[in-house]
Chain A
Amino acid sequence: MKRREFIKLAATTGVAAVTGLNLNFAQERSLKVGVYGGYFKDSFDANIFPKFTEDTGIKVESVAEPTGEAWIVQLETAAKAGQAPADVSMIAQGSMLRGMNSGLWAALDESKLSNLEFVREQLQNKDAEGKLIGVGAVSWYITLVSNTDVFPEAPTSWDELWKDHKNQLGLLALSSNSYLLEITAKTFFEGNATLDTEEGLNAVFAKLAEVKNNVQLWYRDEGQFQQALQAGEIPMGQYYHDVTGLAAADGFPVRSTFPKEGGVLDSGSWAVSRAVKKLDEAHEYINWFSQPSIQDLVARSVGTAPTVKREFLTLSEDEFAAVSSDIEPIIPHYALHLNRGDEISQRWSEEITG
């Protein structure tokens, strides 16, 4: 190699190295995304986040959120100190409202969210002034589940809970996560509107109190009920449609049924704390997630129901049935649990679980 050639080579590699370094710096965009710990986080880490990084070059650091309301308490406390433990978080609808009332959420810029048109209207969370503060991420159903060995015939209605099944039921322990008041109102009364009058609320509480003797387990821990359901120990109850489907696919004798009154449809939205600095990346992430093709991917790989209108999806009949249903769902009465929650949960403890 001649001296001049060597210099030329060294110069070009030098330039390449420098530009390469620049490219690397440009790729160092990152985003912290909070999703529920356990199965959710594992599925997102395996199937969803790598695809986002591939499409946009933005690295994702996933953060395990505790279920319940512990996460928004942490977000609120951190926001007061100007900190954010995650840039984008998946937040349940009740917590969305609670955060909205305390001014926790940053307003989102609709002009940066071109895919918002695909997301179902009711899953575009707006604050009192009509500003967008959350975008539907995933939905899930709570349905009537049963052990197929103990009950060869699938139940068809929520009223099955009231039939002769002494000590056979497993139900969620709280008024604000079981939505049994809504289920009772839909099955025996006029739906959520019944819960808006004192008279109606009293009637629903009285009707629901009739199931008490059938309940073997009021559960807070999902694993505890799932284990008992699979073993046939507690052969019927309310549970999550997606997880029950996964258990059935693993060969356990369980089934999830959409009762004729509908399953309970609950959802999580992507929301951004007011303390978050990476607003551009956050918008990019939310917009990316709202694409119908990504919603297809989420339905197939995570097993949750899409938040995008069905006509934009490519899911087959079977794939759609695995995560959702065309039966009109029961929508939780979030405002009731938020605005009268203390009174309702006190009555619940005294009259239903007490």
Chain B
Amino acid sequence: MNHPSYGKPKNRWPYFLLTYPAIMILLLFFVPLCIMFALSFFKRIQSAFFEPAFVFENYVRAFSTFFLQRIGVSLWVAAVAAFICLLIAFPFTFFLSRLRRSRQVPYLVLLISILSLSEVIIAFSWSLLLSKTSGISNLLVALKLLDAPVSWAPGFVAMLSALVYISLPLAIIVLYPSLSRLDVSLTEAATTLGASPIVSFFNVVLPNVRQALLTTFILVFIFVLGSYLIPQVLGRPEHWTLPVHITDQALLKSNMPLAAALAMLLLIASAGLSLLTLRLGRSQL
């Protein structure tokens, strides 16, 4: 009697099916990336558009002090936002996953619905919330916590608040599966063996979810790094991230080659940092 072999499929159909995602990745991701890469070496003609060429002048300008500082600001903003996001998301998700399942659902639905809001709506809502004329400082004045209403936007805290707000649901949804799989008996065992809740948290819970925390951090970091509307609306010029300047170059100055070179730089910086973080996380396990 012939048993079906599990190692190799008999016909080529499954392989054929695999070509679909491969073609899609090629068409929708790889080809545009190659176009952008090629574009970043084109020659900018200041008073017109650009022409095909192989020059490095866009990268020379991209590596100027000004744009390097912008990259520094972007990486710093993304790291701070991702860190604050984790500080809120981790305990929230931890307690959420301990709830009865029927009570978890409404929270999860609410969080997912926040993800459906556009960045424009979120940015403008926060700028209203933090404004002097109609913002929450008026509430604090009414509660006698403040003497006079103040304007908190645009500013670093305003920008950071909106960035954390927009990425929080993402962080929770990524953390949720690994935290809800966390075996309760592990902490119970630790408690039985005499560990205080704090000790068991740091020695038992944290090591178990470290990889999930790192993954979430990187995901939020990259998500925030690509944001240009919130920094533009809620940040002051010194907080404008690289994507704000990429948009300016592409849409307002017709300088596609420089925009492409800056985008490549951002891509390399974020990919490099993500790989580094992942490697650090693995080596400590």
Number of A-B contacts (CB under 8 A): 78
Given A216-B151, A346-B66, is A176 in contact with B253 using a C-beta cutoff of 8 Å? yes
Interface string of A162-187 (1 = CB under 8 A from B): 00000100000110110000000000
B284: Cβ under 8 A from any A Cβ: no
Q: How many residues of A contact B (CB 8 A)?
A: 39
B92 to chain A, nearest CB (A): 31
B interface footprint on A198-219 (CB within 8 Å = 1, 0 otherwise): 0000000000000000001110
Q: Which residues of B contact A353 (CB under 8 A)?
A: 237
Shortest Cβ distance from B256 into chain A, in angstroms?
7
Contact of A341 among B46, B66, B134 (CB under 8 A): B46
**Residues of chain A lying within 8 A (CB to CB) of residue B132:** 233
B48 touches A349 (CB 8 A): no
Give CA–CA (A216, B131) in the complex, Å: 12
Nearest A residue to B127, CB-CB: A224
Mark contacts of A77-113 with chain B using CB atoms, 8 A cut-off: 1 yes-contact digit, 0 otherwise.
Answer: 0000000000000000000011001100000000000
Known: A98-B48, A101-B47. A345 touches B253 (CB 8 A): yes
Q: Give the CA-CA distance A216 to B151 in the complex, in Å.
A: 10
B147 at interface by CB-CB < 8 Å: no
With beta carbons under 8 angstroms apart, the residue of B131, B250, B254 that contacts A228 is B131
B1, CB-defined interface residue at 8 Å: no
Chain A residues with CB under 8 Å of B124's CB are 223-224
Binding-face segment, A25-33, A67-75, A303-311: A67-75
Partner of B252 from the list A176, A342, A354 (CB cut-off 8 Å) is: A176
Q: How far is the CB of B139 from chain A (nearest CB, A)?
A: 16
Q: Does B232 contact A (CB under 8 A)?
A: yes
A73 CA to B249 CA, complexed, in Å: 12
Does B49 interact with chain A (Cβ within 8 Å)? Answer: yes
Which chain A positions have C-beta within 8 A of B44? 342
State which residues 247-261 of B face A: CB under 8 Å. Answer: 248, 250-256
Q: Which A residues are in CB contact (< 8 Å) with B64?
A: 346
Other-chain contact of A177, B66, B236, B252, B254 (Cβ < 8 Å) = B252
Partner of B47, one of A68, A98, A350: A98
* Residues of B186-243 contacting chain A, CB below 8 A: 232-233, 236-238
B47 contacts A339, C-beta separation under 8 Å: yes
A233 CA / B131 CA spacing, docked (Å): 7
Let me know if B169 is at the binding interface, CB within 8 A: no
Beta-carbon contacts of A322-354 to B below 8 Å, as 1s and 0s? 000000000000000011111001100110011
A101 to B66 Cα, complex, angstroms: 29
Question: Is B133 in contact with chain A by the CB < 8 A criterion?
Answer: yes
A296 on the interface (CB 8 Å rule)? Answer: no
Q: Which of A138-194 contact B (CB under 8 A)?
A: 167, 173-174, 176-177
Cα(A264)–Cα(B232), bound, Å? 25
Query: Beyond A98-B48, A233-B133, A339-B46, is A224–B233 a contact (Cβ under 8 Å)?
Result: yes
When the two chains form their complex, are residues A221 and B233 in contact, meaning their CB atoms are under 8 A apart? yes
Complex formed: what's the CA distance from A224 to B234 in Å?
A: 10
Sampled A-B contacts (19; CB under 8 Å): A66-B251, A70-B251, A101-B45, A101-B48, A167-B151, A216-B151, A216-B154, A217-B154, A218-B236, A218-B237, A220-B232, A221-B233, A227-B128, A228-B131, A232-B133, A233-B151, A342-B46, A342-B253, A354-B66
Supply 19 further A-B pairs (C-beta < 8 A) apart from A217-B154, A231-B134.
Answer: A66-B251, A69-B252, A69-B253, A69-B254, A72-B254, A97-B47, A102-B45, A176-B253, A216-B154, A218-B236, A220-B232, A224-B233, A233-B131, A341-B253, A342-B46, A345-B253, A349-B237, A354-B66, A354-B238
A-B pairs, top 6 by smallest CB distance, nearest first, are: A102-B48, A353-B237, A101-B48, A231-B133, A69-B254, A68-B252
Please give the residue numbers on chain A whose beta carbons come within 8 Å of chain B beta carbons, in ascending order: 66, 68-70, 72-73, 76, 97-98, 101-102, 167, 173-174, 176-177, 216-218, 220-221, 223-224, 227-228, 231-233, 338-342, 345-346, 349-350, 353-354
